[in-house]
Structure 1
Amino acid sequence: MLLDSPSLIYRRCVLHAALGVSFALPVAAQSAATPPAAAPPAAAPPAASAAVQVLNDKVDAYMQAAVRNAHFSGTILIARDGVPLVSRAYGMANYELRAANSTATVYELASVAKQFTAMLIMQLKEQGKLDVSDSICKFINDCPAAWRPVTLRHLLSHTSGVPNYTSLPDWDEQLAHRTYSRTSLLALFRDLPLEFTPGAKYRYSNSGYFLLGIVIERITKRPYGDVLRTNITEPLGMTHTRFNEGRLLVDQRATGYYSLGTSFISATHESPSASLGSAGIQSTTTDLLRWDQALYANQLLTSASLDEMFTPVLDGYGYGWQSGESLGRTRVDHSGSHAGFSTYIVRFLRERLTVIVLSNSDRASGSGTGLNLARIAFGETYIMPTLPLRDRLFDAVIGFGVDATVEQIREIRRDTPTLPLDETLLDVGYDLLEAARLTDAIAILEYNISLHPKSAYSYDGLGDAALAIGDITLARRHFETSLKIDPTNRYAIDALKRLSR
Structure 2
Amino acid sequence: MGWLSGRFMCVLMAWVLAAPLAEAANRKQEVDRYISGFHQKGLFNGTVLVANEQGLLLKKGYGSANLEWKVPHAPDTKFRIGSITKSFTATVVLQLVAEGRLQLDDPITKHLPDYRGDTGGRVTITHLLNHTSGIPSYTSAPHFKADSVNPYGVAEFVKKSCSGDLAFEPGTKYAYNNCGYYLLGALIEQLTGQTYAQAVQARIFGPLGMKDSGYDVTATVLPKRASGYAPTPGGYVNAPYLDMGQPYAAGSLYSTVEDLYRWERAFHGDTLMPAELKQKMLTPGLQRYGFGWVITPMQLHDGKTHVPIIFHSGGINGFSSLLVRVPERKEVVILLDNTTQGGLQEIAGGVLSILRGIAPRPARIPIGKVLMEALGKGSAAEAIATYRALKKAKEAQYDFGESQLNTVGYHLLRGGRVADAIAVFKLNVEMFPKEANCYDSLGEAYAAHGDKEQAIANYRKSLELDAKNEHAVKMLEALEQPAATR
* TM-score interval, smaller chain: 0.7 to 0.9
User: How far 1:391 moved relative to its partner?
Assistant: 2.3
Measure the CA separation in 2 of the matches of 1:455 and 1:295.
Answer: 42
3-state SS in 2 of match to 1:311: coil
Distance 2:364 2:391 in 1: 21
- C-alpha contact (below 8 Å) 1:393/1:405 kept by paired residues: yes
- Counterpart for residue 53 of structure 1: 25
Structure 2 counterparts to residues 208-223 of structure 1, below 5 A: 208-223=180-195
Question: Is residue 165–residue 188 contact of structure 1 (8 Å, CA) maintained in 2?
Answer: no
Instruction: Kindly state the Cα deviation for residue 408 of structure 1 after the two structures are TM-superposed.
Output: 6.2
1:91-147 CA-to-partner distances (Å, cap 9, x unmatched) read 211112211111110011111111111111111111121111211101113332222
Q: Is 2:227 the partner of 1:249?
A: no
Correspondence 1:196 to 2:165: no
Aligned to 2:4: none
* Preserved CA contact (<8 Å) 1:394 1:432: no
Deviations, residues 280-334 of structure 1 (Å, cap 9, x unaligned): 1110011111111222122222222211211123222111111133353332111
Q: Is the 8 A contact 1:426 1:445 kept in 2?
A: no
**Quick one: distance in 2 between partners of 1:275 and 1:450?**
35
Q: 1:395 is aligned with what amino acid?
A: E
When the two structures are superposed, what TM-score results if normalisation uses the length of structure 1? 0.76
Contact 2:234 2:376 (8 Å CA) reproduced: no
The answer for unaligned runs of 5 or more in structure 2 is: 1-19, 299-304, 395-399, 431-437, 461-470, 480-486
Provide the residue aligned with 1:342 in structure 2.
320
Q: In the alignment, is the contact (CA less than 8 A) between 2:442 and 2:458 conserved in 1?
A: no
List gaps (5 residues or longer) in structure 1: 1-47, 464-474, 496-501
Is 2:40 the partner of 1:68? yes
* Cα distance change of structure 1 residues 412 and 180 upon mapping to structure 2, 3 Å threshold: closer
Residue 112 of structure 2, aligned match among 137, 140, 148: 140
Matching residue of 2:249: 277
2:475 and 2:32 mapped to 1: Cα distance?
Answer: 41
Deviations 1:374-429 (A, max 9, x none): 2222222421121122222343454576666566667789999xxx9997566546
The alpha carbon displacement at 1:56 in A equals: 2.1
Aligned to 1:359: 337
- Of the three residues 150, 154, 170, the one matched with 2:143 is 170
Structure-2 residue corresponding to 1:100 = 72
In structure 2, relative to structure 1, the CA distance for the partners of 1:434 and 1:63 (3 Å cut) is farther
Q: TM-score scaled to structure 2, two decimals?
A: 0.78
The superposition leaves residues 328-356 of structure 1 with CA deviations (integer Å, 9 ceiling, x where unpaired) of 33321111111121111111111111111
Superposed displacement of residue 366, structure 1: 2.7
Superposition pairs of residues 48-447 of structure 1, within 5 angstroms = 49-69=21-41, 71-81=43-53, 83-144=55-116, 145-172=118-145, 174-245=146-217, 247-260=219-232, 263-326=235-298, 327-398=305-376, 427-428=407-408, 431=411, 446=423
Q: Partner amino acid for 1:195? A: A
Greater fraction of residues in helix: 2
Q: Is the 8 A contact 2:367 2:387 kept in 1?
A: no
Task: Tell me the amino acid that sits aligned with residue 130 of structure 1.
Answer: L
Deviation digits for residues 140-161 of structure 1 (CA, Å, limit 9, x no counterpart): 1333222212111111111221
- Verify the 8 A CA contact 1:113 1:277 in the aligned structure 2: yes
| Equivalent residues of 1:483, 1:493 under 8 A apart | no
Q: Distance in 2 between matches of 1:286 and 1:323?
A: 23
- Alpha-carbon contact 2:83-2:315 (below 8 Å) kept: yes
- Mapped to 2, the partners of 1:380 and 1:313 lie a distance apart of 31
Instruction: Single out whichever of 290-299 and 449-458 deviates more from structure 2.
Output: 449-458
Greater CA drift, 254-263 or 50-59? 254-263
**Are residues 357 and 181 of structure 1, via their aligned partners in 2, closer, same or farther at CA, if it must alter by over 3 Å?**
same
The alpha-carbon distance between structure 1 residues 137 and 430, as it changes in their structure 2 partners (threshold 3 A), is closer
Change (3 A) 1:245 1:155: farther
In 2, Cα distance between equivalents of 1:243 and 1:89 = 23
Structure 1: which amino acid aligns with 2:144? W
Amino acid at match of 1:221: G
Distance 1:100 1:415 in 2: 36
CA spacing shift, 1:248–1:314, aligned 2, 3 Å:
same
> Secondary structure of 1:270's partner?
coil
Shift of 1:76: 0.8
- Per-residue CA deviations over 1:173-227 (Å, capped at 9, x if unaligned) read x122221111221123454221222221222111111111111111111111111
In 1, the alpha carbon distance for the partners of 2:343 and 2:323 equals 12
Shift of the 294–309 alpha-carbon distance from structure 1 to 2, 3 Å rule, reads same
